[in-house]
Amino acid sequence: MGSLKNGTESVLQEEEEEPVLKEQSQKYCTFPIRYPQLWEMYKKAVASFWAAVPCTDLTSASSLSNICGTVEEVDLSLDIQHWEALSESEKRFLSHVLAFFAASDGIVLENLAARFLNDVQIQEARAFYGFQIAMENIHSEMYSLLLEAFIKDSRQKNKLFNAIDSIPCVSKKAKWALNWIQSSTDPIAVFAAFFIIFLDFVGSSSSFAERLVAFACVEGIFFSGSFCAIFWLKKRGLMPGLAYSNELISRDEGLHRDFACLLYSIMRNQLARQKVHQIVHEAVEIETEFVCDALPCALIGMNAELMSRYIKFVADHLLVALGYDKKYNVENPFDWMELISLQGKANFFERRVGDYQKASVMSSLQDNGKNFEFKLDEDF
């Protein structure tokens, strides 16, 4: 109990000295901007806004787009045909992927609403988190629409929508993330959490820096294998609606991960290399287990060994972005995954590309966020 108390007191002392977490005198006012880099990330998020539309009818999508200029239509008419032609192994793999995605955005949302918005006192960061909450809801809706479209058996659909309880490999990922949300430095919560520690929870003395790194892992590592699986379908020319929604969501999640790394970079109390490597390693092990369970049979151009190597490659990329050295030193086994980092080159009138941004929003941000132009002609 003494080590628990000392650990909690140490975390509390560190967080009291952390500018990111210190009470701000003007935290309810947006201006003046004190962290232009964080504000620029918020504006990028706003400029990338889109909404989920259950669309198999292009006519209805077009009319809805005319009403709301920010709506991106996702046509699933071909996807349903392609789904029926997939092998049972491919369907199982993708079902697990979509099941995790459908629940994971809700977990990220829970962390933002219950923890990060309460912890972080910098207004620019709070603005970003507020907008991220809206986007996580849209992502969750999109994945739910995809499951509704592809899975016709009601019992199987119910199992996938309850994957956190019904599919062990999904449950393990979800519980790891939820453990970080449930850790607390509040004295009353610490007492309540005492018994939970013995149930393999991460502990009650987790600092904000640890939780920030952990959720960078959720969005940067836990999502990596699943995004990769869907881009693998795109490479084969399959399921264009799913691939397109994946472009939009992977772009958003990449921005969320980058924001976590940026916020971490301005923190005064950063973690020791060993601790960060430990958190990342845990995430890699759990994601690798998920891939091996969801992908028991080798598919065309895709198997668990290659996917495991890709996860480690992504983890190294995250470590460098956080300011640490690589742990795994592996190369990207999937050359075609470079598609994620390339700007879309599709004909806009043929299909709207996933790197779409509202130019009018970004045009109001100049000189690294130092100058702002108020516009009354925005397209809402």
13's tokens: 């002392």
Using the structure block, give the residue that is written with the tokens 């050359």: 335
Contact 379, 71 (CB under 8 A): no
Residues with a catalytic annotation lie at 143
Radius of gyration of the chain (CA): 21
Distance in angstroms (rounded) separating the CA atoms of residues 144 and 309: 29
Termini Cα distance of the chain: 55
Q: Identify whether the C-beta of residue 366 lies closer than 8 Å to the C-beta of residue 349.
A: no
